[in-house]
């Protein structure tokens, strides 16, 4: 009989497809038949919401189905710490991850689901010569490891997306779709994403974002001037601008300050207040729901509406605003302790006096698509990087720090603990921008940057200076920013962790099915692999801390979780704490009976305990599984 008191550890990242089906099964279980969705039943349940027209509006490209599937394939990989490459690894909560961002985003799903406030990315623009990520659907990690070393004898990159390619735009969209889909999962409901792009794919990107984020969540397109006008250009028109497309996760709680008429107060920190503009004439035909006689619930006094100056509320919203104390009648005025009347029904004070009288703290000003004049161009970004690297500019087209800092400022900054993610990190401008912004306003923002270790051109200054990959240069930039640089160095009291995408520590994850083989050939190869794997040591040439972090990632704990080594009944335990979540990991070959008895105490009740499968006999597993959530490797 199978022992139900324990189970295997999670070997992969989230299985998003299975999780979506589980959610659907809970909502409408009657549409499932033999563990599959009955489409006819689903259509009947949803009724008119199902669009069964043959011709309908949509956006598609060659390879779209595969791209959608790719977002759902769990990752078998892991992230291994590289403590020596970071700064204050054990103290800092900033994270730099070296690896393919698609696999990394999958690995971040459990721990960072709906935790990210702001995303900024500067992906490849698909100009025909830049590096385009070539995803291997069948063996993603194998493809990544091969891809990051592909250069010819002269150091030229082999991966490019030429316009002569029959799937020029399709390849780019298939690369972007799964990454943006996974990014959507990571954004908070009030989160915002900014994407830099040029004219090559801006129209396709808008359609892609409309599909993933919803066209109702489009915020704005910000034009960024990247250079001064050139004369030697096609058609005689200098393309001086690039675009930054902005979307939010949920339009009704967008993280961008969008309305000039809104204010905030301490008593309702998450609620915006508005004063009706009584100087603007309105007519009943424009707002019929606001044309009604207002009745004071306390005095029953009637206040007739003015057809030229209607109320700032409707019949339907009156009671809700009155209950919240947002409506002040003249008879209440002066003795009620109310922070601010959101909709004034008296006209004896002008707006400025009313704001002052009722203690408004600050106005939420609208963010303009017109950037301030102090936002730099490419040439300014090159100077910034050159100052960091002693005159050498190792990046081709870095973004200026002032641009990213401005985007950080216009995001709703009431939350100074926000996390900023950049998964096309490039030159690590985002990391520096967040740290500089924190240094200026004493904020507590965190950043996560992901960068492919793309090999630099061997003819470049960076290669000659000893930097082999873009990720190496980015890490060095961050270290120099923290240390202080230039003629007047200003060190920053900050740090960052470094992790690298790598193969799983578990042999079960070491086999990749070959799409070139038949199903029967793959089965034979898999059985042969299993026989070899069983003869090998479980963690041959593997550091214990790497196994600990693989469990942290796949159990859904943050990469900033605190790890502490303990001895319990003579057995070494890694205690991992991430806010309310806790893991107890034992990698000893044997968990003694004394240790088993210790873990059966009430203080360990319900905690996740992970150990080697052979470290416990069946009796110990059964007993221990009654108290802890036992998982075996």
On average, the pLDDT of the chain sits at 82
Range list of β-strands (E), 396-550: 419-422, 446-451, 497-502
More reliable by pLDDT, 550 or 364? 550
Q: What are phi and psi of 287, to 5 degrees?
A: -135, 75
Banded model confidence at residue 212, pLDDT cuts 50, 70, 90: very high
Q: Residue 16 burial by CB count (10 A; 0-12/13-18/19+): exposed, middle or buried?
A: middle
**Residues 247-270, mean pLDDT to the nearest whole number:** 58
The residues, ordered by sequence, that sit 6+ positions from 60 with a Cβ below 8 Å of its Cβ are none
CATH architecture of 78-253+379-502: 3-Layer(aba) Sandwich (3.40)
Query: What's the rounded Cα separation, in Å, for the pair 151 and 148?
Result: 9
> What does the domain layout of the chain look like in residue ranges?
78-253+379-502, 259-365, 530-632
CA-based R_g, the chain, Å: 29
**Residues 372-400, mean pLDDT to the nearest whole number:** 88
Q: Which helix (H) or strand (E) holds 317?
A: helix 315-323
Pairing status of strand 187-197 against strand 95-98? unpaired
Q: What is the pLDDT of residues 263-303, one digit of tens each?
A: 555 555 555 555 444 334 455 556 677 788 888 888 888 88
The three-point CA angle 126-128-130 to 5° equals: 65
Banded model confidence at residue 345, pLDDT cuts 50, 70, 90: very low
Banded model confidence at residue 138, pLDDT cuts 50, 70, 90: low
Q: Is 36 left (phi over 0), alpha (psi -120 to 50) or beta?
A: beta
More reliable by pLDDT, 53 or 369? 369
252: DSSP letter: G
**Residues 514-534, mean pLDDT to the nearest whole number:** 76
Q: Whose CA is closest to 81, among 586, 556, 563?
A: 563
CA atoms within 13 A on the CB side of 341: 24
149: DSSP letter: T
Banded model confidence at residue 43, pLDDT cuts 50, 70, 90: confident
Token pair of 100 as six digits: 């393919």
Residue 322 has pLDDT above 90, yes or no: no
601: DSSP letter: S
Banded model confidence at residue 332, pLDDT cuts 50, 70, 90: low
Residue 1 has pLDDT above 50, yes or no: no
Token pair of 189 as six digits: 């409901």
Q: What's the Cα-to-Cα distance from 70 to each of 9, 135, 148, 195, 527, rounded to whole Å?
A: 23, 9, 20, 21, 26
Query: What's the rounded Cα separation, in Å, for the pair 146 and 136?
Result: 10
Look at residue 271 in the predicted model and tell me its pLDDT.
58
**Residues 541-568, mean pLDDT to the nearest whole number:** 94
Query: What's the rounded Cα separation, in Å, for the pair 452 and 470?
Result: 7
DSSP string, 464-533: HTT--BHHHHHHHHHHHHHH--SSS----S--BEEEEEE--SSGGG-----TTS-HHHHHHHHHHHHHHH
Query: Maximum distance among all alpha carbons in the chain?
Result: 88
3-state secondary structure of 608: strand
Look at residue 308 in the predicted model and tell me its pLDDT.
64
Query: What's the rounded Cα separation, in Å, for the pair 306 and 296?
Result: 16
Out of 55-69, 211-225, 312-326, 461-475, pick the least confident. 312-326
Q: Residue 268 burial by CB count (10 A; 0-12/13-18/19+): exposed, middle or buried?
A: middle
Residue 537 has pLDDT above 70, yes or no: no
**Residue 564 near residue 580 (C-beta atoms within 8 A):** no
Q: Which helix (H) or strand (E) holds 610?
A: strand 608-611
Banded model confidence at residue 183, pLDDT cuts 50, 70, 90: very high
3-state secondary structure of 117: strand
Banded model confidence at residue 165, pLDDT cuts 50, 70, 90: low
Query: What's the rounded Cα separation, in Å, for the pair 321 and 328?
Result: 10
**Residues 67-80, mean pLDDT to the nearest whole number:** 93
Banded model confidence at residue 245, pLDDT cuts 50, 70, 90: very high
Residue 306 has pLDDT above 60, yes or no: yes
Look at residue 132 in the predicted model and tell me its pLDDT.
55
**Residue 557 near residue 545 (C-beta atoms within 8 A):** no
Q: What is the pLDDT of residues 587-618, one digit of tens each?
A: 999 999 999 999 999 999 999 999 999 899 99
The residues, ordered by sequence, that sit 6+ positions from 190 with a Cβ below 8 Å of its Cβ are 117, 248, 249, 250, 253, 254, 255, 412
Q: Whose CA is closest to 176, among 199, 142, 151, 202?
A: 202
Look at residue 280 in the predicted model and tell me its pLDDT.
41
Banded model confidence at residue 186, pLDDT cuts 50, 70, 90: very high
Q: What is the pLDDT of residues 482-523, one digit of tens each?
A: 999 888 889 999 999 999 999 999 888 877 777 677 888 878
Look at residue 356 in the predicted model and tell me its pLDDT.
54
């Amino acid at each position: 009989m199978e022992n139900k008191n324990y189970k295997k550890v999670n070997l992969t990242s989230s299985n998003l497809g299975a999780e979506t089906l589980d959610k659907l099964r809970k909502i409408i279980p009657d549409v499932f038949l033999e563990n599959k969705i009955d489409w006819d039943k689903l259509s009947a349940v949803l009724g008119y919401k199902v669009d069964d027209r043959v011709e309908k509006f949509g956006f598609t490209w060659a390879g779209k189905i595969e791209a959608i599937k790719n977002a759902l394939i769990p990752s078998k990989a892991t992230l291994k710490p590289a403590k020596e490459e970071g700064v204050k690894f054990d103290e800092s909560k900033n994270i730099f991850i070296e690896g393919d961002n698609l696999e990394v985003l999958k690995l971040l799903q459990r721990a960072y689901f709906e935790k990210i406030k702001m995303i900024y990315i500067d992906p490849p623009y698909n100009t025909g010569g830049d590096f385009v990520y070539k995803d291997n659907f069948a063996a993603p990690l194998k493809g990544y490891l091969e891809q990051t070393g592909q250069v010819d004898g002269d150091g030229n990159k082999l991966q490019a997306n030429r316009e002569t390619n029959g799937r020029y735009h399709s390849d780019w969209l298939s690369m972007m779709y799964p990454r943006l889909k996974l990014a959507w999962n990571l954004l908070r409901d009030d989160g915002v994403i900014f994407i830099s792009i040029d004219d090559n794919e801006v129209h396709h990107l808008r359609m892609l974002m409309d599909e993933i984020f919803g066209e109702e969540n489009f915020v704005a397109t910000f034009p960024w001037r990247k250079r001064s006008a050139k004369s030697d250009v096609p058609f005689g028109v200098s393309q001086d601008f690039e675009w930054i497309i902005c979307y939010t996760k949920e339009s009704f709680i967008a993280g961008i300050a969008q309305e000039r008429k809104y204010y905030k107060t301490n008593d309702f920190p998450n609620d915006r207040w508005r004063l009706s503009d009584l100087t603007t004439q309105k007519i009943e035909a424009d707002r019929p729901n606001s044309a009604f006689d207002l009745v004071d619930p306390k005095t029953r006094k009637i206040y007739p509406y003015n057809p030229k100056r209607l109320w700032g509320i409707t019949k339907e919203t009156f009671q809700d605003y009155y209950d919240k104390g947002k409506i002040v009648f003249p008879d209440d005025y002066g003795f009620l302790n109310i922070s601010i009347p959101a909709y004034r029904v008296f006209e004896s004070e002008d707006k400025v006096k009313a704001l002052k009288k009722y203690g408004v703290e600050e106005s939420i000003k609208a963010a303009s698509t017109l950037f301030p004049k102090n936002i730099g161009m490419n040439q300014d970004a090159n100077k910034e990087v050159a100052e960091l690297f002693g005159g050498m500019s190792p990046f081709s087209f870095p973004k200026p720090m002032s641009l990213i800092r401005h985007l950080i400022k216009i995001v709703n900054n009431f939350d100074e603990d926000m996390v900023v993610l950049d998964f096309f990190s490039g030159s690590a401008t985002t990391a520096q921008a967040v740290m500089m912004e924190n240094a200026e306003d004493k904020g507590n923002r965190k950043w996560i940057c992901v960068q492919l270790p793309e090999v630099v051109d061997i003819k470049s200054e960076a290669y000659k200076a000893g930097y082999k990959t873009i990720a190496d240069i980015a890490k060095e930039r961050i270290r120099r920013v923290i240390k202080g640089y230039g003629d007047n160095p200003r060190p920053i009291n900050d740090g960052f962790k470094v992790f690298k995408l790598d193969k799983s520590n578990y042999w079960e994850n070491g086999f990749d099915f070959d799409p070139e083989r038949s199903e029967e050939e793959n089965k034979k190869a898999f059985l042969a692999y299993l026989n070899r794997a069983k003869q090998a040591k479980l963690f041959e040439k593997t550091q214990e801390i790497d196994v600990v972090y693989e469990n942290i990632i796949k159990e859904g704990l943050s990469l900033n979780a605190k790890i502490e080594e303990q001895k319990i009944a003579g057995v070494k335990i890694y205690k991992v704490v991430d806010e309310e979540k806790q893991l107890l990991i034992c990698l000893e070959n044997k968990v003694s009976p004394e240790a088993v008895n210790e873990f059966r105490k009430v203080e360990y009740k319900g905690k996740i305990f992970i150990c080697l499968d052979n470290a416990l006999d069946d009796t110990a597993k059964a007993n221990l599984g009654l108290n802890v959530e036992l998982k075996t490797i």
